[in-house]
Amino acid sequence: MLRSLHLPLLRFALSPFHRCNPSRIPSSRAIASLSKSPAIAPSNAFFLASSSRSRSRSVSGAFRTCSGGSETNPDGNIAAAPSPSVGNPNIRFCQACGSPTKQVIPDGEEKVRSVCTGCGRIHYENPKMVVGCLVEHDNKVLLCRRKIEPSYGLWTLPAGYVEVGESAAGGAIRETLEEARAEVEILSPFAQLDIPRIGQSYIIFRARLKTPDFSPGPESLECALFAIDDIPFHSLAFSSVIVTLKMYIEDIKAGKLKFHYCTINKRPGASPSDLRTFDIDYHLHS
Ligand SMILES: [Zn+2]
């Protein structure tokens, strides 16, 4: 069962925005990592969100993009991501020649990788891109109830992995067509969300229905339009969906839609499948 929603965290993360204050909720772990990052020019168009619980600290460095393992299908089959210092034991055989791999640090590198014992190929693990649409229609948003695991029966935005050969926007349109049988037009990018622990980076686009027609695709039990006050937060499928919709509601109520970036980090000790216990570590917006 899902645990109760940590609404206070979201409120901290999404409310009043302050320039040049990193949002680390509640610890300073992410801030520490920022000092190693390239600087953001003061004139950078992005603003950093700060919470009343975060430490107010000027940002001489800026954020770093995150890497890591994989929240669904899209947020995916939820599985613990490999530690950055440990090779991924899931890559046990070479994708090129089929020989077993071993976990070693290749020459000139710092991390353990899965290296083929036959041909020597190094199997790098990089984050996957997930794209989706926040479809607006008549002051409502389109959600799909999942017919597949993980999170069977819970509500999500239409989203999925980008395919090789397609753009992020193209993938979002395709996923919306597949999951909601809805033809949409992209309006603007709305959010990029990194989930380092599971190696996923989300891009969510605002979109509109070309026609008012939609119906559940093979991966959906049902599709429906929800007014923002009726969104079923108690039964959303993924943390990325929770965060996206919270940001959207905040923007709608403030009367201005922004572009958002943040990282979603599970708290230490939280189960990878626990969708509600997370921190929004670094919230930037236009
Ligand atoms: Zn090989």
CA distance 126 to 103: 16
CA distance 257 to 163: 28
Q: How many CA atoms lie within 13 A of 46 on its CB side?
A: 21
Cβ contact 264:278 at 8 Å: yes
Looking at the chain, which residues constitute the CATH 3.90.79.10 domain(s)? Answer: 7-82+126-285
Higher pLDDT, 42 or 194: 194
Ligand 1 midpoint to CA 97 (Å):
4
- Report field, pTM of the whole predicted structure over 0.75: no
pLDDT at 78: 37
Ligand 1 midpoint to CA 117 (Å):
7
Ligand 1 midpoint to CA 101 (Å):
8
Ligand 1 midpoint to CA 102 (Å):
11
- Architecture of the CATH domain 83-124: Single Sheet (2.20)
Ligand 1 midpoint to CA 20 (Å):
47
Give the tens place of pLDDT for each residue, 116-150. 999 999 999 899 999 999 999 999 999 999 999 99
Q: Which residues surround ligand 1, an ion (CB under 5 A)?
A: 94, 96-97, 99, 116, 118-119, 121
- Architecture of the CATH domain 7-82+126-285: Alpha-Beta Complex (3.90)
- Band the pLDDT of 241: cuts 50, 70, 90: very high
Q: Which two tokens stand for residue 174?
A: 């395709």
Give the tens place of pLDDT for each residue, 65-95. 223 333 545 554 433 344 444 445 678 999 9
Which of helix, strand or coil describes residue 271? coil
**Residue at token pair 């020019």:** 41
* List of E strands, the chain: 47-48, 101-104, 113-116, 122-123, 128-137, 140-146, 155-156, 159-161, 184-195, 200-209, 220-227, 260-266, 278-280, 284-285
H or E element that contains 260: strand 260-266
Looking at the chain, which residues constitute the CATH 2.20.70.10 domain(s)? Answer: 83-124
Cβ contact 45:103 at 8 Å: no
Average the pLDDT over 169-178 and give the result.
98
